Amino acid sequence: MHPAQLQHGDDVWMIIPPQACHLIRSKRLRAMQRLLVFICNRNTSRSPIAQALCNAEIARRLKIPQQALAARGFHAVSAGLATHPGDSMAAEAQAALKKLNVPIPAHQSQNLTAELAGRAELIFCMTEAQRQIAMKMFPNAASKILCLQPGQDLEDPHNGKKDFARLAQQLQGIMPSLVDHLLSSTRPQVSS
């Protein structure tokens, strides 16, 4: 039967020769499928900036469009610890990304959930206090909840566009080494 003659609901058989199948170790597959989560309190400034910068760096390294990252299974998302779901990214955060020529992602705030924490390869907090809260909220994920900048809190910017621009530059400086670790190992060695 010619494919053009098929009707919706018809039974179709497919023969796949064994030589066309390739086994992939689950460890290797896991290394290729990574979800990173960046969290802050309200998920409207720091974590969306980190998400955008991380995705831009991953896309640049893999030489693929950012829109293809999720389909490839290697991308970053952001979440909050105490947000009002659906809030937009702060205008100052958007301006900071624009100044760095980083695409501004479509964003509606969300809270970190047990499901999201379970799927995440790593969860990066902006401050040690957030890390402590997240570990108490999600004890099963505690081993993968880290500070993005160990020993240094990345506080919420309060003094307008200059503080947001400074934070975005600081986060942009962190991303290359973070992505280096992710691309070079099955599980990055990041200190907590």
Question: What pLDDT is attached to residue 188?
Answer: 40
Question: What pLDDT is attached to residue 24?
Answer: 46
Question: What pLDDT is attached to residue 3?
Answer: 66
For residue 146, the surrounding DSSP H or E stretch is: strand 145-147
Higher pLDDT, 3 or 64: 64
C-beta of residue 116 within 8 angstroms of C-beta of residue 105: no
pLDDT class for 171, splitting at 50, 70, 90? very high
pLDDT digits (tens, 9 = 90+) for 22-35: 554 444 434 446 88
By C-alpha distance, which of 93, 97, 128, 131 is closest to 112? Answer: 131
Question: What pLDDT is attached to residue 161?
Answer: 87
pLDDT digits (tens, 9 = 90+) for 34-78: 889 999 999 999 999 999 999 999 988 888 888 888 777 788 999
- Please state, in angstroms and rounded to a whole number, the distance separating the CA atoms of residues 125 and 12: 49
Question: What pLDDT is attached to residue 2?
Answer: 67
CA 145, chain centre distance (Å) = 13
Question: What pLDDT is attached to residue 22?
Answer: 54
Assigned superfamily of 31-182: Response regulator (3.40.50.2300)
pTM of structure: 0.78
Domain extent listing, the chain: 31-182
Q: Which residues neighbour 59 within 8 Å (Cβ) at sequence distance 6 or greater?
A: 65, 66, 68, 69
Question: What pLDDT is attached to residue 1?
Answer: 59
Q: Using CA atoms of 42, 44, 49, 52 in order, give the dihedral in degrees to the nearest 10.
A: 110
Residue 20 has pLDDT above 80, yes or no: no
Residue 7 has pLDDT above 90, yes or no: no
